[in-house]
Amino acid sequence: MKLATLRVNGSTRAVRLDGDRLIDLGAADLGEGAAFAPVVPRPSKVVCVGLNYKNHIQEMGRDLPRYPTLFAKFAGSLIGATDEIARPAETGEFDWEVEPAAVIGAPVRRARGRAAEKAIAGFTVLNDITCRDWRFRTREWLQGKMWDSSTPVGPYVVTPAEPPGGVRPRLEVALGVDGEVMQRDNTGDLLFDPVALVEYVSTVVRLDPGDIIATGTPGSVGHARDPKRYLTGDARVVAEIRGVGRVENTVAGERAA
């Protein structure tokens, strides 16, 4: 089953894809009941995982972590599957990161095993756009990751029954810029799978329906290339996960305050 949130006449509606038809589910969005709005427009938490693919860890010159590396985004960072990505005037190093994201469907705290599995409502596509120059200003990641209107997510939430592997899905992920493939990998390279992440994150904080856990990106980000490569104005960025969906966005400039 594929679920989405549509913008309709200034509001939003939760819908289900049935063939080529979108069926209204009787709720305003998937967080209540999930052109496309972010699948969950106002999640209480967007928890992201850095350094979760072995090849990406190695290309960034890091050791394999013992625990998940967590940071956060805010609801204002999220945009829909076809919205423009706002490139801040303050950055010169605007980078891409395709990621599978788990959407939480039930409140959990300190979940283990089956409880953590049942908490996963499904999966969606997220492009964790990053201002690398701001990211590396300090050892903390937040200021490079939380920029307004920078993070496409959607267009659907695909329930765990669809992808092979269920709540530990085996997914092919890819990202292209202006028609050129930049990233291509599969979730077999993950250190911490979605169930392990629900267990870990819910130990720290209660996870609520509609919360999002972005599971990390594979290698070949722009910052790790030689020469380095970043997103500029009018670039067309397509992040795709086979069997889940794709977000396709144009980078647009944003004026400094």
- Residue ranges of domains in the chain: 41-254
Grade residue 34 by pLDDT with cuts at 50, 70 and 90.
Answer: very low
Grade residue 6 by pLDDT with cuts at 50, 70 and 90.
Answer: confident
Look at 254 and 141; give whichever has higher pLDDT.
Answer: 141
For the chain, the DSSP string reads -EEEEEEETTEEEEEEEETTEEEE-SSSSTTT---BPPSSSS-S-EEEEES-BHHHHHHTT-PPPSS-EEEEE-GGGEE-TTSPEEEETT-S-EE--EEEEEEE-S-BSS--THHHHHTEEEEEEEE--EEHHHHTTSS--HHHH--TT-EEEEEEEEPTTSSTTTTS---EEEEEETTEEEEEEEGGGBSS-HHHHHHHHHHHS-B-TT-EEE----S--GGGSSS-----TT-EEEEEETTTEEEEEEEEEE---
What value does the mean pLDDT take over residues 227-254?
A: 95
Task: Note the pTM of the prediction, 2 decimals.
Answer: 0.89
Q: Is the pLDDT of residue 257 over 80?
A: no
Of the given ranges (31-35, 142-146, 224-228), which has the lowest mean pLDDT?
A: 31-35
Number of C-beta neighbours around residue 47 at 10 A: 26
pLDDT tens digits, one per residue of 42-66: 999 999 999 898 888 888 888 889 9
Look at 36 and 32; give whichever has higher pLDDT.
Answer: 36
Q: Which CATH number fits domain 41-254: 3.40.50.150, 3.30.420.40, 3.20.20.240, 3.90.850.10?
A: 3.90.850.10
Tokens of 8: 């309709």
Write down the pLDDT at residue 41.
Answer: 86
